[in-house]
Structure 1
Amino acid sequence: MDRRRWLAGGGACLLAAPWQAARAGAQLEEPLADAVRTALSASVGDSAPPIPEFRDTARRLAYLRWLTAMSERLRPRMADGPTRHEFLQTLWYEAHRAGLEESLVLGLVQVESGFRKFAVSSVGARGFMQVMPFWMRTIGNGEPERLFHMQTNLRFGCVILRFYLERERGDMFMALGRYNGSRGRAPYPDAVFGAQKRWVFADKPA
């Protein structure tokens, strides 16, 4: 996706203890240029509903096949059907909006939170994609509890990962390390790439 376009784009799965800690690391707070902060704020602030739109019937049918396949794979971790559908639709929308592979984002969510909406890490990262609260102060509305809202969490996580990918000149290994706060070290990127394999979809039209 063109960088300028991206920057301008402006619970059965829950365990009994909803604040159960996640094992993931955390993004490190870094100074942002004013132009970058403004662009990121615009990107996360777009309030459009996460409803996929398609240019033709073939693309819509391909999406529906993906949705059906992923729903079956996710069922053991997210048993409630409507919740699972909403999660997958939102993740697909946010991943495509940020120019990311949906399988990679699913792999990241698996590693970061185990698909737990209210997961909290030992350093305070929150939600499905384990977003650090400082992002809400830096580019959001200053309300870190919003990171437990499904679309908000997936929106921030995808925008932040895309931002790191741009900073790392397209190197996803390094971008994932930066996302986790372990830049340059292999365990976290390797874990995400390994988890991603489960969510790759080989479309087979009828």
Structure 2
Amino acid sequence: MCRQLPSIFTPIIAPLIMNWSGAMKKVRTSIRQVVERRMREIDPAPHSLPKCKIDRLTQQVGALFFASSHQIRMALVYAIYSLCTHPEYVEPLRSEIMDMIHPESNGYFPNDEQRQLRKEFRTKYTDVSAQCPYWESTKKPCPRRWYVSDTLKLALVHLIMNYEVKLADEETPRSFFWTAALVPRLSTRILVRKREHTEYTKE
């Protein structure tokens, strides 16, 4: 919003918008509690937690969360759009999710001490490259890309395994440009139905 206004108004309008609902204060308090707990785990000494250091860490973590919050939602919406427009991929994805449970479990509880690599390495969603600058520059990539990746995976796995999704109208526009950003339309309706049976729940 501030980008659409003269820069002289940014120092006035930005703090008003951020503090209007009190949400930032709640987020800051929650992050601070986690930071203090983690620092005590590292050094339990009672006088080893300088306030300036805690404030700085709280501010940095909050900024990283804020910078990635809208990107997670947008990426999740576009992933759901893809599931709606390509339903033929849903069942293979469910099968792959179930197949991945066993390798991940074996990673925590290996059968033997000698672990051999049986497949070639594959690129990951968090990989950084100049050919696909999804995470910005290769020299200074997004530091929250692992958080974004894990959050998206958890949400999509839960959705794919427990629900069926469908666009209410496949012909309706699903996005629009806001300055340089491609944003999902709020008017696009997605029909969600809970599956009657899932592979990892009791019948």
TM-score, structure 2 normalization: 0.30
Bigger radius of gyration = 2
TM-score norm. by structure 1 comes to 0.29
Structure with more contact order per residue of length (Cα contacts < 8 Å, sep ≥ 6): 1
